[in-house]
């Protein structure tokens, strides 16, 4: 029997556990999908060392005035843009610190742009347009490992001196222009080749860990509280007040007042309240301590009993 239809990429193989899923009931489909999804965290854990190395690279880039750039196509590109977009409200980071690039540009976020992922010239050009330099880290995301746009972007980034990382859910191709390869082998998908499923979930977990880890290393977390958040909506305004209340013992109204006096910056407000100093003095201390609250006000209070 001819086997030319077989693909070497793990993400393109058929999953024997779901080969009869088209005959399954709705509940059986849920169980099958859930069982496959349950294998993803372990696959991510097996890539822990490469993920940790990437966090170190990104932290160094941020401290050197560089950026984290995600590059992908389709689902991979959308997940990169999503992670980049969520950093400013969560960590108070400038929008240009973490940037998501998707093949086909913004229109590809909401609909497929035919042929965009195959455009190698566009991948290299996108890196030129961003002015990639030796201070940056570029993470290419390609679940199936072979997206031409991503490969070209990594090659051009390396030429421009950037550190490069390749995230895939199959073995990376030989010669990929990456200093670090994060390979998360989640296995064949429930629906063959549908990498928005397990591969997409794995990608989201990895990207979450990279940016969360780098931001923690930068001192943007106190204990496990997001003290550098920007209160851009009512939910975040409420969270800001609760964080200041918990870390200083202030009432809700007093917490709101000190946050206002701190220009809306939670971390500054905590230092002002705990040290009894002005905004200017608090900002000076934070600058001296590289933004790390523990060095200024000590350990956070213990968590209240559940």
CATH number where 153 lies: 3.40.50.10490
What 3-state class would DSSP assign to 171? coil
How much of the chain exceeds pLDDT 70, in percent? 97
Number of domains in the chain: 2
Which tops the pLDDT comparison, 14 or 211? Answer: 211
Catalytic annotation present for 96: no
pLDDT tens digits, one per residue of 138-159 = 999 999 998 999 999 999 999 9
Residue 18's pLDDT is 84
Residue 231's pLDDT is 72
How much of the chain exceeds pLDDT 90, in percent? 80
pLDDT tens digits, one per residue of 196-222 = 999 999 999 999 999 999 999 999 999
pLDDT tens digits, one per residue of 45-84 = 999 999 999 999 999 999 999 999 999 999 999 999 999 9
Do 210 and 249 belong to one domain? no
Q: Give me the mean pLDDT over the 244-268 stretch.
A: 94
Residue 70's pLDDT is 98
Question: Where does the pLDDT of residue 15 fall: very low under 50, low under 70, confident under 90, or very high at 90 and above?
Answer: confident
Q: Give me the mean pLDDT over the 31-45 stretch.
A: 96
**In a domain? residue 10:** no
pLDDT tens digits, one per residue of 157-175 = 999 999 999 999 999 999 9
User: How far is Cα 67 from Cα 81, in angstroms, rounded to an integer?
Assistant: 14
**Domain range holding 289?**
234-297
User: C-alpha distances in angstroms, 32 versus 18, 21, 27, 102, 185?
Assistant: 7, 8, 9, 31, 18
Contact between 121 and 148 (Cβ < 8 Å):
no
The answer on pLDDT for 5 being more than 90 is no
Do 149 and 109 belong to one domain? yes
Cα dihedral 92/98/101/107 (nearest 10): 0
Which tops the pLDDT comparison, 193 or 287? Answer: 287
Locate tokens 């290393």: which residue? 217
The answer on pLDDT for 1 being more than 50 is no
The answer on pLDDT for 2 being more than 80 is no
Q: Which of 86, 120, 246, 281 is catalytic?
A: 86
The answer on pLDDT for 7 being more than 90 is no
Do 119 and 183 belong to one domain? yes
User: How far is Cα 156 from Cα 150, in angstroms, rounded to an integer?
Assistant: 10
Residue 3's pLDDT is 60
Is the whole-model pTM more than 0.85?
A: yes
Do 183 and 281 belong to one domain? no
The answer on pLDDT for 176 being more than 50 is yes
Catalytic annotation present for 171: no
Locate tokens 């992922």: which residue? 117
Do 77 and 153 belong to one domain? yes
Q: Which of 36, 117, 189, 283 is catalytic?
A: 117
Do 207 and 140 belong to one domain? yes
**In a domain? residue 226:** no
Residues in the chain: 306
**In a domain? residue 202:** yes
Do 121 and 247 belong to one domain? no
The answer on pLDDT for 6 being more than 70 is no
Do 79 and 158 belong to one domain? yes
Residue 232's pLDDT is 73
Do 103 and 248 belong to one domain? no
Which of 217, 243, 278 is at the close of a domain?
Answer: 217
Q: Give me the mean pLDDT over the 222-228 stretch.
A: 92
Neighbouring residues of 45: CB distance < 8 A, sequence distance ≥ 6:
none
Residue 4's pLDDT is 65
Among 196, 150, 194, residue whose Cα is nearest residue 173? 150
Stretch (H or E) spanning 71: strand 68-72
Residue 165's pLDDT is 98
Which of 217, 250, 284 is at the close of a domain?
Answer: 217
What does the block give as tokens for 213? 């880890």
Do 198 and 89 belong to one domain? yes
Residue 82's pLDDT is 97
User: C-alpha distances in angstroms, 189 versus 27, 141, 265, 286, 287?
Assistant: 18, 17, 44, 47, 48
Do 148 and 271 belong to one domain? no
What does the block give as tokens for 62? 């941020």
**In a domain? residue 306:** no
**In a domain? residue 278:** yes
Do 166 and 202 belong to one domain? yes
Locate tokens 């390869």: which residue? 181
């Amino acid at each position: 029997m001819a086997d030319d239809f077989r693909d070497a990429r793990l993400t393109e193989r058929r999953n024997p556990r779901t080969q009869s899923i088209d005959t399954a009931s709705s509940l059986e489909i849920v169980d099958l999908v859930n069982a496959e999804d349950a294998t993803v965290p372990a696959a991510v854990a097996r890539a822990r060392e490469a993920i940790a190395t990437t966090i170190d690279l990104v932290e160094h880039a941020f401290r050197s005035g560089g950026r984290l750039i995600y590059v992908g196509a389709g689902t991979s590109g959308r997940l990169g843009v999503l992670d980049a977009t969520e950093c400013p409200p969560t960590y108070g980071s400038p929008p240009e610190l973490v940037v998501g690039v998707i093949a086909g540009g913004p229109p590809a976020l909401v609909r497929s742009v035919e042929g965009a992922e195959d455009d190698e010239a566009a991948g290299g050009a996108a890196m030129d347009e961003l002015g990639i330099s030796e201070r940056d880290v570029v993470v290419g995301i390609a679940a199936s490992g072979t997206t031409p746009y991503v490969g070209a972007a990594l090659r051009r980034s390396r030429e421009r001196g950037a550190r490069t990382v390749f995230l895939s859910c199959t073995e990376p191709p030989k010669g990929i222009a990456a200093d670090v390869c994060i390979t998360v082998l989640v296995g064949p998908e429930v629906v063959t080749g549908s990498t928005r499923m397990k591969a997409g979930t794995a990608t989201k977990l990895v990207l979450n860990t990279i940016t969360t880890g780098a931001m923690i290393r930068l001192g943007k977390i106190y204990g496990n509280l997001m003290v550098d958040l920007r209160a851009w909506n009512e939910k975040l305004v409420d969270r800001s007040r609760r964080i200041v209340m918990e870390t200083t013992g202030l009432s809700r109204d007093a917490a709101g007042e000190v946050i206002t006096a701190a220009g809306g910056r939670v971390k500054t407000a905590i230092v002002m309240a705990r040290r009894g100093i002005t905004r200017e003095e608090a900002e000076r201390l934070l600058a001296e301590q590289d933004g790390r609250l523990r060095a200024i006000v000590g350990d956070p209070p213990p968590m209240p009993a559940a």
